[in-house]
Amino acid sequence: MSGSYTQINYGLRPAKHIERKMLCEAFRRLSEFGSLESYQYVGFGSIYFTDFILFHKMLGLTNLHSIEKDSYNAHRFSFNSPFKCIQLHFGESNVELPKLNWNVRSIIWLDYDDPLDGKMLTDISLITAQCLQGSVLIVSTNAQPERFDSNPLDILKDRLGKNNIPTELKAEDIHGWGTAALYRRIITNQIEETLTRRNGGLPAGSRMCYKQVFNFNYADSSKMLTVGGLFYDEGQSAIVAKCNFDSLPFVKGHDSPFRIEVPYLTMREIRHLDKQLPNNKVEELITQGVPPSDIEKYSRFYRHFPAFGEVEL
């Protein structure tokens, strides 16, 4: 079966593009734990390797691992791999993740195409149980609500396990962005439960902690959730404070997401707005005919806003 890369060019999704740049900016703060060059990156590169290219060029990461489940087209992934420092691993993530070296600080982006399921929760548990302090885990998953011509709660229980679904959950709770909120809750619970087992018997001060840093909602087509954060030892609270993640406007350490809503603007409108930014007083920004809501959205993302164009090489 062909992967989703045959239907979607991941480099040309504007909200995803913004999210990727925001993640990259936050990753720079990890230098308080050690040099970024010493980190390994684990992700799903697809044939485009967009995040691998960005993180290699902007962060200097050279220990790069891409897990590709479409082993039938291994030759195509190998041909499109942009750098010699990318190691390709063909197979399901449940099989390939345990084979990696987790005795090194890691940035892991489990960027799934599909709705959250039990196999994904297994991946999350494996990484949580083994990752080194100073590591970051990010999980992206399709959060489009289930079709309501069937019983959505039964579908969720079948896919995720009855014990992972809150008993008080009602069908109306997963309308709109409610599914994303539910998935964030389940992922966070999985991390916390795994940490409880990992920390069992360890003395105070040496237990592993988790701090949520990211909680993005966006929709280039389907609704998507990206949630994740930092693992650190209890004794490293001062280092976490030096990272100062909370000073970044897109960092969300709680239930409320940072929603990436991309306005549709012309290049002339973008250039005109750029001349007026940065400006904390959004009401002062003026561009002929552009709705204030679109101006406000652009002002939030302008530093990470993508610029797509046709280039003949």
- Average per-residue pLDDT in the chain? 92
Are the C-beta atoms of 287 and 4 separated by less than 8 Å? no
Enumerate the domain spans of the chain: 4-260, 267-304
Quote the pLDDT of residue 220. Answer: 87
pLDDT at 12 (0 to 100): 60
CA distance 293 to 287: 12
Mean pLDDT, residues 183-203 taken together: 95
pLDDT band at 313 (very low <50, low <70, confident <90, very high): low
Confidence label for 310 from pLDDT (cuts 50, 70 and 90): low
Q: What is the pLDDT of residues 128-174, one digit of tens each?
A: 999 999 999 999 999 999 876 678 899 999 999 999 999 999 988 99
What would the two tokens of residue 71 be? 């082993």
Mean pLDDT of 45-55: 95
Does position 109 have pLDDT exceeding 90, yes or no?
Answer: yes
Residue 147: predicted pLDDT = 74
Q: What is the pLDDT of residue 203?
A: 87
Predicted TM-score (pTM) of the model is 0.92
- 288 vs 11: CA distance, rounded Å: 30
**Cβ count within 10 A of residue 243:** 22
Question: Is the model's pLDDT at 7 over the cut of 50?
Answer: no
Average the pLDDT over 177-206 and give the result.
94
Confidence of residue 8 (pLDDT cuts 50, 70, 90): very low
- Cα–Cα distances (Å) from 288 to 265, 270, 280, 281, 285, in that order, read 11, 11, 20, 17, 10
Residue 264 vs residue 311, higher pLDDT? 264
Q: What percent of the chain has pLDDT over 90?
A: 80
Give me the helices (H) in 60-117, please: 74-80, 93-96
Q: In whole angstroms, what is the distance from residue 92 CA to residue 96 CA?
A: 6
* pLDDT, position 15: 93
pLDDT value at 10 more than 50: no
Task: Output phi, psi for 291, to 5 deg.
Answer: -60, 140
State the pLDDT confidence band at 286, using cuts at 50, 70 and 90.
confident
pLDDT at res. 156: 93
- What's the pLDDT score for residue 11? 45
Query: Would you mind telling me the total number of residues written for the chain in this entry?
Result: 313
**8 vs 286 pLDDT, higher one:** 286
- Return the CATH class of domain 4-260: alpha beta
CA atoms of 166 and 70, how far apart (whole Å):
34
